[in-house]
Amino acid sequence: MTKLHLTDLLPAELSDYVTSLGEPKYRAGQIFAAIHGRRLTSFDEMTDLPRDLRAQLSDQTTISTLRLESRYLSSDGTRRYLFKTHDNLPVETVFIPEERRDTICFSSQSGCPLQCTFCLTAQLGLLRNLTSGEIVEQIICALNDAYGAGVETPRGTNLVGMGAGEPFLNFEALIKAVRIMKEPAGLHIVPNRITVSTAGVAPKIRELASTEDRPHLAISLAAPNDELRSELMPINKKWPIAELMAACKDFQASLKRGERFTFEYVMLSGVNDSDDHARQLAGLINRHGLRAKINLIPHNPAEPLPYQPSSLERVEAFRAILDAAGIDNFVRRPRGRDILAACGQLAARSDVGQPVLIPGQ
Ligand code: SAH
């Protein structure tokens, strides 16, 4: 891509670019608000800018780089978008409408280098890191699809960095995207509304702790001991549980009043869901004095993953042990399973259902 991607720029960077064209600074504010606040995707619509500036911008720069390839609509209202980058790599984003707020799940990488055995994204391998602009664009595109460009969103938006990729292996771009999105004149999605999930890149957990205006943290655990965790999540060989717990303990010192962090625990039938696993898990959290909650995620099956979700009775028995140990836990309701949009199902697959044209668009 030879054109400058404006969506990738922080306000100060946009301002530098605009003044380098010999334009007054306030034009940068207008452009930032047009891209991120009104979510316009073409310069033609920016009628508050002089015509020759618009021509110059469209000559040298671009706003939209992601091309929507297909869109799937789940029976529960969840939407999955499959985009292609300018260099033709897949990017997936999931829009999850909820009663009070919408949640958008974005990807941080095209594909993923980690090889978690229960996750479909692993099968793609790492294609490349996404830029900040490509992260921000996913949110703009999802909101525009749901509500239309230039239209105020009727509900608030929560973001989760739980799509394809390992966000903490693309840390700088991730944090820059968070900074772009928090701007009041733009998307105005504050870091407090964002949760980023890591498979356990311990040094970056510590770096997040000292990052100003940081999002919330979730950590994918999947197993309560090193032997099983290394089998399910090979990243555990690099940062084993003791190191992960030490990083969590340090992170805990950065929590604000009332804030907690989360462990995600995918429940795989007969693999990590026994009473003994629950006791080990409770012991791990309590032994390290962590004030974390646990999100239990029933495994979302997908061909050719070799697992089945734990039964409801098993999930309840597992929970009861956590409850008895005083550990807050929640069971995540699967969303968008029928269109391969649920956790761990993003693999740029287009062989499920029919791409759906959303009425009125
Ligand atoms: N790489 C990051 C971001 C992805 S988050 C991370 O690992 O945290 C995706 C979440 O979905 C993780 O918590 C992961 O454990 C979970 N997950 C992966 N595959 C799954 C599956 N098939 N069913 C249910 N949850 C899954």
In this structure, the residue with its CA closest to atom 4 of ligand 1 is: 162
Query: What are the CA-CA distances from residue 334 to residues 111, 339, 345 (Å)?
Result: 22, 12, 11
Whether residue 119 lies in the annotated active site: no
Say what the pLDDT of residue 361 is.
41
The closest of 81, 33, 42 to 188, measured between CA atoms, is: 33
pTM (2 decimals)? 0.95
Ligand 1 mutation target, pool 297, 305, 332, most atoms within 8 A of CB: 297
In this structure, the residue with its CA closest to atom 13 of ligand 1 is: 220
**Angle between helix 241-252 and helix 202-209 axes, rounded to 10 deg:** 0
Q: Which helix (H) or strand (E) is 159 found in, with range? A: strand 156-161
Other C-beta atoms within 10 Å of 174: how many? 26
Query: What are the CA-CA distances from residue 27 to residues 23, 43, 48, 49 (Å)?
Result: 7, 13, 9, 8
pLDDT block averages, 10 residues each, the chain of length 361: 93 98 97 98 96 97 96 93 96 93 97 96 96 98 93 90 97 98 97 98 98 97 98 98 98 94 97 98 96 94 92 97 97 86 80 57 41
**Nearby residues of 144 by Cβ (< 8 Å), 6 or more positions away:** 39, 41
Say what the pLDDT of residue 360 is.
40
Say what the pLDDT of residue 354 is.
60
Say what the pLDDT of residue 351 is.
66
Give the ligand 1 atom nearest the CA of 161.
3
Say what the pLDDT of residue 153 is.
86
Say what the pLDDT of residue 63 is.
97
Query: What are the CA-CA distances from residue 151 to residues 66, 145, 146, 148, 154 (Å)?
Result: 20, 11, 10, 6, 9
Q: Rounded to an integer, what distance in angstroms lies between the CA atom of residue 117 and that of residue 120?
A: 8
Set 112, 116, 141, 343: catalytic member: 343
For ligand 1, residues with CB inside 6 Å are 118-119, 162, 166, 197-199, 220, 222, 264, 266, 297, 299-300, 343-344
Say what the pLDDT of residue 355 is.
65
The closest of 169, 159, 154, 153 to 136, measured between CA atoms, is: 159
Whether residue 92 lies in the annotated active site: yes
In this structure, the residue with its CA closest to atom 19 of ligand 1 is: 344
Say what the pLDDT of residue 352 is.
65
Say what the pLDDT of residue 356 is.
61
Say what the pLDDT of residue 155 is.
85
Say what the pLDDT of residue 338 is.
86
In the block, tokens 């100060």 appear at: 12
